[in-house]
């Protein structure tokens, strides 16, 4: 027991040290200068409907994105989920995740998030109105997750992610890590959970490819026009730290109500506060709502995301659990985001 307590304390201190380092890495003045911003696009419907206030209460296969520690709290032997979101500017986001419980070893999960941009016309300096050819960027994030319960009230999880971004003749590949803990019954209060995550920690990304080549002359050199390659800069990943609380209040046989709060610290954007409420009717029907707002935004910036709403339905047939969820997120200047998610558990 002493060894487990020491391990948990060491993990908590590590999270605090990383949180401190990231907290001073930058903020609003660095907006638009990060690489791999696809990492920040949420997935799934259940926890997005809660405004993203999900670090402390995310559970099961849906927790892989929000807090990998929650994967260890899944009750089924195996789960799979798929979600589809209509994002900004006609971009679509598809996500699939599977996970399995290997008993005392822990839970292992796999996830894939892809983006659909549609066809884009290729333009060049000589053909600014288009060459008649089309391309579609390839953006995806591939994740591998491990999670387990350290003791009966503390869960820990970590995800390694491979990031790929590709346009014609230019691309970049990166690696990032997420880690999280969840403490159940925090401060000895039944139903009160604490969650801490650090996300998108990894080396900077650099684009490379033949698309960075151009014809030119080297100043001062007695050489004809030659092929010169641009030297691209490396850009940091959009790392974040999240600290959240959730409290579940039992309504007896009717179900329960869960309220959650999350503070999110960005190194390339304004910090955020997120609130969410979920009504659970007999573990079968769910109503959800949430709200997120930017903190300390300068006067020339606008937080474009508004309130979120959603609902979910869970049903078991012959020992197999099916879940269907929907989320709506209001967005300023763009059409609202709509997310549909389906989950199956065995």
CATH number of the domain within which 38 lies: 2.40.160.40
Residues spanned by the domain of 326: 2-345
Percent of the chain with pLDDT over 70: 90
Query: What pLDDT sits at residue 287?
Result: 98
Position 336 scores a pLDDT of 97
Per the prediction, the chain carries an average pLDDT of: 90
Contact 93, 84 (CB under 8 A): yes
User: Structural domain tally of the chain?
Assistant: 1
- So what's the pLDDT on residue 23? 46
Contacts of 73 (CB under 8 A, 6+ apart): 59, 60, 63, 149, 155, 182
% residues pLDDT > 90 (the chain): 73
Residue 271 and residue 278: Cα distance in Å, rounded?
24
Measured over the CA atoms of residue 59, residue 64, residue 66 and residue 72, the dihedral's sign is: positive
| Reported pTM | 0.90
The pLDDT tens digits of the residues spanning 12-57 come to 545 554 544 444 444 666 777 789 999 999 999 999 999 999 999 9
Q: Per residue in 141-152, is it b (16+ CB within 10 Å) or e — as a string?
A: bebebbbbbbee
């Amino acid at each position: 027991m002493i060894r487990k307590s020491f391990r948990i304390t060491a993990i908590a201190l590590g999270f605090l040290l990383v949180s401190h380092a990231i907290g001073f890495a930058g903020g609003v003045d660095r907006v638009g200068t990060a690489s791999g911003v696809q990492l920040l696009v949420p997935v799934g419907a259940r926890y997005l409907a809660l405004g993203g206030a999900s670090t402390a209460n995310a559970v099961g296969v849906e927790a892989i994105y929000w807090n990998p520690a929650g994967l260890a709290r899944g009750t089924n032997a195996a789960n799979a989920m798929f979600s589809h979101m209509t994002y900004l500017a006609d971009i679509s986001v598809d996500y699939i995740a599977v996970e399995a419980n290997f008993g005392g070893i822990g839970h292992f999960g796999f996830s894939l998030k892809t983006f659909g941009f549609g066809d884009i016309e290729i333009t060049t300096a000589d053909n600014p109105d288009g060459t008649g050819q089309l391309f579609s960027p390839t953006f995806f994030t591939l994740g591998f997750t491990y999670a387990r319960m350290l003791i009966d009230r503390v869960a820990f999880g970590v995800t390694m992610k491979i990031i790929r971004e590709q346009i014609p003749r230019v691309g970049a590949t990166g690696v990032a890590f997420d880690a999280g803990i969840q403490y159940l019954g925090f401060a000895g209060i039944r139903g009160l959970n604490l969650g801490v995550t650090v996300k998108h920690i990894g080396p900077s990304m650099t684009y490379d490819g033949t698309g960075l080549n151009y014809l030119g002359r080297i100043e001062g050199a007695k050489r004809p026009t030659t092929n010169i390659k641009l030297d691209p800069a490396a850009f940091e990943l959009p790392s974040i730290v999240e600290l959240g609380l959730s409290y579940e209040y039992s309504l007896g046989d009717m179900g329960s109500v869960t309220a959650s709060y999350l503070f999110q610290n960005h190194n390339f954007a304004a910090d955020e506060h997120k609130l969410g409420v979920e009504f659970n009717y007999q573990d079968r029907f769910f109503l959800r709502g949430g709200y997120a707002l930017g903190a300390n935004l300068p006067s020339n910036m606008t937080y474009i995301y508004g309130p979120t709403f959603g609902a979910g339905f869970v049903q078991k047939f012959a020992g197999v659990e099916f879940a269907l969820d929907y989320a709506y997120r209001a967005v300023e200047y763009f059409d609202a985001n709509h997310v549909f998610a389906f989950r199956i558990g065995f």
